[in-house]
Every structure is written in structure tokens, then in C-alpha cells.
Structure 1
Amino acid sequence: MIIAEELANEADRRNDFDSVVLPPVPVGIAPYHGHFPGTLSVSAETLRQYVSDILNSLSDSSVEIVMFVNGHGGNGETLRNLTRTVADDSTVDLDAFLWEWMNAVEDHVDHAGELETSVLLHICPDDVGKLTDGDAATWDDTVDGGVVNRFTEEFSKNGAVGDGTAASAEQGEQLFETATDALCSFLNRVI
């Protein structure tokens, strides 16, 4: 959420059109992290209903386009489906798009791995805790065409994937700039 909010704010500062950054959604879809104490999660239905209610509250305003700036992989499918629903609904007077910073950078972004941690070191270095090295397996590990891992604890002792110890604020600044440029470019394409 921190990365997505900072990217949205930076794109808002850089763009030449009238825009507003709405408050972020603080809790997303993350039941696969649930075995780690303190994990908060909502269902896909809850996220969809919450975001739909926000869209409905905007439909009577002068807002024409809503851009979901997503920073959590677990929310992607639900938000992607919601943008399709909005686009297909002729009774709604606004359009919605999904943009994910994780897809705007060249490399694969692991959960609490090098890239995600680097961006956080750039944005909020005092809030980054102990950097850890995650385990080698991922959610995407497959055997005979089937996904093996369903929960993070099945392949990670600490919830991290990848090597957060290799992160740096300098790399995070470069990634942040790349992602911001991509977001601004995407906004200009759809607006």
C-alpha cells in the first residue's frame, strides 16, 4: 500500500491534468499469508464490494476515469475483473483501469524481496525492518502442471520471497522512477 500510494501521489504531482488521489485501501486479499501472526486479509467479495461502493459514490460526480494503482498482487485479479465489469456496464458514467507497479518494472518483484524492499528503502527507510533472505520456492512452483504451494508458510519461514538483504535505496529510487514514468505514460494513454 505504501508503494502504491507514493507512486499515485508522485504521478499526481507530475501530470498536467486535473486529478485527485483517493485514500488507499489498507487491507487486501492475503489469506495465503494467514499463518503468519498479525496478517490482515479481506475476501475478494469484500474488496470488490468496497471498491464498487467507492465507484458508485463517484458516479454522480464529475469523475470520468478511475485508476486503481495496485501494490498488492493478491488484489490484482479482483480489481482486473472489476474494471471489466465497469467497462461493460452502460449505466455507469465512468471508466476504470488497473495499473500495477510490479508489472511496470523489468524484473520479477518478489514479496519482501530485493526489489520491493529497495523501493521501500527509498520511500521510507526508517520503516524498513530487518532485511531477510527468503526461501527459494515461490507460489508459482508447479509439478506436472499443477500449483504446489497454496500458502506462504509452505515455502517461506518468514514470509519473504527472494533476497531482501540485497536491497538498496539507490536501486529503489531507480525502480520508483521507472514505475512513476510508466504510470504517467499509462495515465496519458487512457485519459
Structure 2
Amino acid sequence: MNDLATMVAEEAARALETARLALLPIGATEQHGRHLTLETDYAIARAFARRLAADLDGDAVLCPGLPYGLSEHHLGFPGTMTLRPETLMAILRDVAESLAAAGVRKVLVVNGHGGNVDAVRLAARTLRRDHGVIMAHVMWAGLAADVIPERMGSERYGHACEGETSVAMVLAPHLVRAERLAEPAAALPILPHTVPHAPRVDLHYPYHQLSASGALGDARLASAELGHTIVDTAYARALEFARAFAAAEEV
């Protein structure tokens, strides 16, 4: 695995010379209810990216990741830290431009936090237009979006729920405080057609207005079996894309 953080400069030069793709894990530092630690989104993204780097071997380099993201909607709970959208977009642009200067013009952002999606998309559009850098973006929840709803036992889910907790059990089990799994907090009232995970109306709620505990869903329903169902689906699709993305002459 070409893990840039563990290399000296001469080793990095050789890895970057042959690599066709850079992997950049990003996440967040934010509350995840009573049973998942603040690093959950980043730890999941990094574990996912490390798997990709191992399977892609010399075709990819794994970049040091970013454990902060856009988490202003979680600031009502202790421990949460957030970037501004323009900060995240600037970081993505700067890292991508640095990679391009080293000869790697394709970047795959491996994201663990839904709040980052809009900023990554905008940064990617700017990079392609202004710098000829191609940035793609994957997140486990999007990759397995057809599988997840079939297995959820809650109407509201998507954060520290049975799905995310199950994924953590598989990719980063140290994140899960199993002794703290408890009956979910009562759902707070929200406007019609705005229910997570797939609202019909786009209305941005801070999480303290969605749940008293900061979590959605019922994490007691989490299991390694469910985690493998989600992770295996998401990973197979991510790897298929990453191999094609690395090999493509034009995108």
C-alpha cells in the first residue's frame, strides 16, 4: 500500500510517479449520540480508503486525511468542531493542486460525512474547470443507497443509527460503545416531507431539533451482519469505480 504519510520524500516520489489516482479520506469531528465516538465519520472513511489503497496497490496513493468537515448542524452537542464550506473547499483545492504538481491529476475523495457532500461537489467542479484536475467522490451511504432502506427498522435514520453503527462494527469496531446502546430518544416534531433519510423537501435542521440524543434510528438493531451487507455492497462498487477511474485515459 502506498501510504504517503508513512513515506520519506524519496519513497513518495517513486509512488507518485507510478500512481494514476490519489485517495483522500475526509470525515468530521462531531457528536454521534450516546454510543459512537466523535471520530466516527473520519475513522470509517479512513478504513474504507485504506482497503481501496491496498487493492489498487501501485495505481493509487493514500493521502493523509482530514478529520474535520461541515458539522455546524451538530454544534448543539459537546465535542463537535466544524469548518466553514469555503474552508473545506479551499483545502480540497489546495491538496488537489499539490497532487497535480506531483503528476497525479485524479483524486478520489472517500467521504464519511454526509454534510461534506455539497462542498466536495463544488470543489470538484472548480478543479476541473480551472485546473484540469478530476475529482470524484464516494461515500458508503451513497454507494449502498439501494440496500440500506431495505434493512432499516426506523423511519428516521442516517446518523448514529442502526446502519452507521453496523458499518462502524465492521470497519472500525473501536468506535462503538456497546454498553451505551439504549432505547432511542423520542423523535422531535418536524415539518411535513422533511423526514431523514430521504426528505422530499430540502430543509436544513440542526440535529438538536431532530433528536434529543443527537442520534437518529435505533442503534440497538445494529449488527455485524448488517454492517457486512452495507460495507460489502459499497466497497465492491467503490473498487469497481476506482479501478476504471484510474485506468481511464479521459473522463
- TM-score by shorter chain over 0.5: yes
Give, in whole Å, the separation in 1 of the partners of 2:54 and 2:191. Answer: 36
SS at match of 2:108: strand
User: Counterparts in 2 of 1:81-120, with a 5 A limit?
Assistant: 81-89=122-130, 92-105=131-144, 106-108=147-149, 110-120=158-168
Where does residue 109 of structure 2 map in the other structure? 68
The code of the aligned residue for 2:163 comes to: L
1:168 equivalent in structure 2: 223
Q: State how far apart, in whole Å, the 1-side matches of 2:57 and 2:80 are.
A: 38
Aligned partner of 2:212 in structure 1 is: 157
Change (3 A) 1:82 1:139: farther
User: Is 1:126 aligned to residue 181 of structure 2?
Assistant: no
Q: Is the 8 A contact 2:45 2:111 kept in 1?
A: yes
How far does residue 190 in structure 1 lie from its aligned partner after superposition?
Answer: 2.1
Counting only pairs closer than 5 Å after superposition, residues 1-40 of structure 1 correspond to structure 2 as 1-15=42-56, 17-40=58-81
Counterpart residue number, 1:178:
233
1:45 to 62, 86, 95: 86
Partner SS for 1:126? helix
Aligned pair count? Answer: 188
Deviations along 1:157-184, one digit per CA (max 9) or x if unpaired, are 1111111110012221232221111111
**How far, CA to CA, are the matches of 2:189 and 2:45 in structure 1?**
23
Match of 1:59, SS?
A: helix
> Percent same amino acid among aligned pairs?
31
One-letter amino acid of the counterpart of residue 98, structure 1: H
Contact 1:141–1:149, Cα closer than 8 Å, also in 2: no
Return the letter of the residue paired with 1:23. P
**Distance change >3 Å, CA 146–CA 98, structure 1 → 2:** closer
C-alpha RMSD of the superposition: 2.3
Residue-by-residue CA offset, 1:55-79 (whole Å, 9 max, x unaligned): 1211211212100111101100000
